[in-house]
Structure 1
Amino acid sequence: MTQVDTPSTPSTPSTADVVEETPGADTADQADPAETSGTWKRGRLLAASALLLGLILLLHASIPNRIGNLGSLVETFLPWCGLPVPVLLAGALLRRSATAVIALLLPVVAWLNLFGGLLTDKSHPGGDLTVASHNVGADNPDPVGTARALARSGADVLALEELAARARGTYEKELAQAYPHHTVQGTVGLWSRFPLSGTRPVDVAMDAGPLGDAKPAEVKMAYNRGMRTTVTTDQGPLAVYVAHLGSVRVNPRAGLSSGRRDAGAQSLGQAVAAEKNERVVLLGDLNGTLDDRAYAGITSRMESAQEAAGTGFGFSWPASFPLVRIDQILVRGVKPESAWVLPATGSDHRPVAARVSW
């Protein structure tokens, strides 16, 4: 029997067997390795700057003072070390640098650890006593207006620093009605609604005169810039210190010149350490921020009212555009309930105030 071969008909592929290839499909679904690598390689300088900034914030206490008091200078403006972060972040985003963005986490976390607590309102209502401090300025063109503004502040105890001899009578006259008790020691004074006792000078000027000039060796206390007194309040006795520490100078060659101030801070710290009264308040122009290691002898024994019960940094100088808080209220044995900065007067400093309770 003859077998006939029939030509086979090609089978039609099913829909499932059809694979449609689109040009460039692989590259569309996968990231370009070169681009991915570039996001990590770009912005190395920005990343290095961010890491350096973070290390300064973390290790500021380890920056030596041997050369131009560099450590103290950095600590004076330490809060402002957070200012470059937005600039570095903008640069990192423009460069599309993942490395720089991640590196910025270090200064951000370090800054928030140091100063994040100051951004919240820590004040509480109430309190037993309001204290205030103001460097009224030797060149204040309006001592009358300044005195009247301070009298309206509501402070029960008011400390004044940099009292020029020619203006002393003005302050005594304008503050007499609101404050029946007062004492002036050199260029610092205290006005109070409550009786004062046990007043004595505290030599924190070292070799400085009343407004920063040289103090003659034969005159030890005539140019006094510090004092201590007891305020007899309704809740009991309160030891109050008033101080105006020496000025500092900053110049490109010598750095931060703060020898007189640092010596005065040490002397003041020793006086506070020796204080017998359980309740102590320190008011004054300390010519530096409390982040500065020069004040360790004071801050180790006393609490900042602004940090404990204020809102924000409480910058007080210069009055026209405050950049740092060098006017301080520190306490021991009493509780700060609130702290704030008063409106500017004719001085180049702004007054600071706090409400405390027993």
Structure 2
Amino acid sequence: MSPWTRGGPAAGAGVLVSLLIAGHGLLPNWRGLGNVVDSALPWFGLAVPLLVLAALARRSWAALAGALAVTVTWAAAFGPAFLRDPVTGPRDLRVVHQNVDYFNPGLPRTAAALRDTGADVLVVAELRDDPVLRDGTVDPGFARLIDPVLPYRFPDNPGVAVWSRYPFHGRPQPVPGVVRSRHAVLRTPWGDVSLYAVHITSFRPEPSVIARRNAEMAALARAVAADPAPRVIVAGDLNTAATDRALSPLAATVTPVAEKAGTGLQLTWPAALPLVRLDHVLTRGFTAVGSRVLPPTGGDHRAILADLRLTPPASPSP
């Protein structure tokens, strides 16, 4: 049998994987299947070593061609994430976010690590409420570590808590259609910044859960698109992979910082061995100076850090 006729199934599998990587957005989102495929997309590259092994076992050039097709398609889709030129220059704002996990047994350690990041804005998801007070305030032990360095914080904790170096203008309000969310305006030395702190419904491969997650993402995208503010920050656990089509409407009006100034895929969950980026910082009116995922300090997500510079450069108010 010719080397080009051996290994036909392996070659076909390579072509199929390549088509899914390149055209996953065309896959019908029946019962959330498209969202699931989108989220797993970076890991389709694991088909390459499997196809190479099949090619060697079958001594098949066809199977090897299938592996090459996946390699080229994957590199075109994800290679630029590893090849970005570094952005230089000072930052104006540092934004840090982490889902700290309701059941985090090492919460003080996590709080200390977040405090030491030098954040100007800290967004925290799944920070448990004080079981004694039960009035919406954040865990007092966590707050005692953060309050001295970031003196302003949201007055309640609807599944997402926020600390800031700068005061809020008015009382933070929920984002319509997003249960665990707050929108506030920060009064910075460079002018007002519209901040959306969010914790979107968890993503699970169940049609009803995916539909609820998608509805919240659509509501967030509408709110941000309708916001006339020239400077906007969206930060939080979106429970949406960077490759998920549900992120596209939001990313059309605010830019993911990791896509501009990050290195690599910047995966955040699960913390021990990250497989997907569920946590995001997206902006409008800023230049992304840096973006990185921080080492695990407790909880089931890793923290993300984004350094931002105002665009165009602005001088502090007198």
Global fold match (TM > 0.5):
yes
Q: What SS is found at the alignment partner of 2:250?
A: helix
**Please, which moves more after superposition, 274-283 or 104-113?**
104-113
Q: Is the 8 A contact 1:239 1:281 kept in 2?
A: yes
Superposed counterparts of 1:88-103, under 5 Å: 88-103=51-66
Q: Deviations over 1:141-186 (max 9, x none)?
A: 1222211111101111111112221252222221111101111342
Could you tell me which residue of structure 2 aligns to residue 9 of structure 1?
A: none
Could you tell me which residue of structure 2 aligns to residue 273 of structure 1?
A: 225
How far apart are the structure 2 equivalents of 1:233 and 1:71? 40
How far apart are the structure 2 equivalents of 1:57 and 1:178? 44
Q: What SS is found at the alignment partner of 2:234?
A: strand
Superposed counterparts of 1:113-262, under 5 Å: 113-125=76-88, 126-166=90-130, 168-183=139-154, 184-203=156-175, 224-250=179-205, 254=206, 257-262=209-214
How far apart are the structure 2 equivalents of 1:54 and 1:163? 41
Q: How far 1:322 moved relative to its partner?
A: 0.8
Count how many residue pairs are aligned between Structure 1 and Structure 2.
301
Could you tell me which residue of structure 2 aligns to residue 26 of structure 1?
A: none
Q: What SS is found at the alignment partner of 2:172?
A: strand
Could you tell me which residue of structure 1 aligns to residue 26 of structure 2?
A: 62
Change (3 A) 1:308 1:76: same
Structure whose alpha-carbon radius of gyration is higher: 1
How far apart are the structure 2 equivalents of 1:355 and 1:263? 29
Q: Is the 8 A contact 1:198 1:229 kept in 2?
A: yes
**Please, which moves more after superposition, 267-276 or 94-103?**
94-103
How far apart are the structure 2 equivalents of 1:133 and 1:199? 21
How far apart are the structure 1 equivalents of 2:77 and 2:275? 17
**Please, which moves more after superposition, 82-91 or 237-246?**
82-91
Query: Structure 2 counterpart of 1:180, which letter?
Result: P
Q: Is the 8 A contact 1:122 1:311 kept in 2?
A: no
Q: Deviations over 1:181-237 (max 9, x none)?
A: 11134221211111221343224665xxxxxxxxxxxxxxxxx41011122222222
**Please, which moves more after superposition, 119-128 or 150-159?**
119-128
In angstroms, what is the RMSD of aligned CA positions?
Answer: 1.8
Q: How far 1:263 moved relative to its partner?
A: 1.0
How far apart are the structure 2 equivalents of 1:232 and 1:275? 16
How far apart are the structure 2 equivalents of 1:174 and 1:205? 32
Q: Does 1:109 find its partner at 2:42?
A: no
1:81 to 28, 37, 44: 44
Q: Deviations over 1:26-54 (max 9, x none)?
A: xxxxxxxxxxx611111111111111111
Q: How far 1:122 moved relative to its partner?
A: 3.8
Q: Does 1:335 find its partner at 2:287?
A: yes
Q: What SS is found at the alignment partner of 1:132?
A: strand
Query: Structure 2 counterpart of 1:267, which letter?
Result: A
Query: Structure 1 counterpart of 2:150, which letter?
Result: Y
TM, length-normalised to structure 1? 0.80
Q: What SS is found at the alignment partner of 2:139?
A: helix
Q: What SS is found at the alignment partner of 1:249?
A: coil
Q: Is the 8 A contact 1:303 1:330 kept in 2?
A: yes
Q: Is the 8 A contact 2:200 2:213 kept in 1?
A: yes
How far apart are the structure 2 equivalents of 1:44 and 1:305? 42
Q: Deviations over 1:1-21 (max 9, x none)?
A: xxxxxxxxxxxxxxxxxxxxx
Could you tell me which residue of structure 1 aligns to residue 313 of structure 2?
A: none
Q: What SS is found at the alignment partner of 1:73?
A: helix
Q: Is the 8 A contact 2:175 2:223 kept in 1?
A: no
Query: Structure 2 counterpart of 1:88, which letter?
Result: L
Structure 1 gap ranges (5+)? 1-36, 207-223
Query: Structure 2 counterpart of 1:152, which letter?
Result: D
Query: Structure 1 counterpart of 2:49, which letter?
Result: P
Could you list the structure 1 runs, at least 4 aligned residues long, displaced by more than 6 angstroms after superposition: none
Structure 2 gap ranges (5+)? 131-137, 311-318
How far apart are the structure 1 equivalents of 2:208 and 2:242? 16
Q: What SS is found at the alignment partner of 1:319?
A: coil
Q: What SS is found at the alignment partner of 1:64?
A: coil
Q: What SS is found at the alignment partner of 1:77?
A: helix
Q: Deviations over 1:275-324 (max 9, x none)?
A: 12101111000011121111222011111111110111111111111111
How far apart are the structure 2 equivalents of 1:310 and 1:296? 18
Q: How far 1:96 moved relative to its partner?
A: 2.1
Q: How far 1:337 moved relative to its partner?
A: 1.0
Q: How far 1:255 moved relative to its partner?
A: 6.4
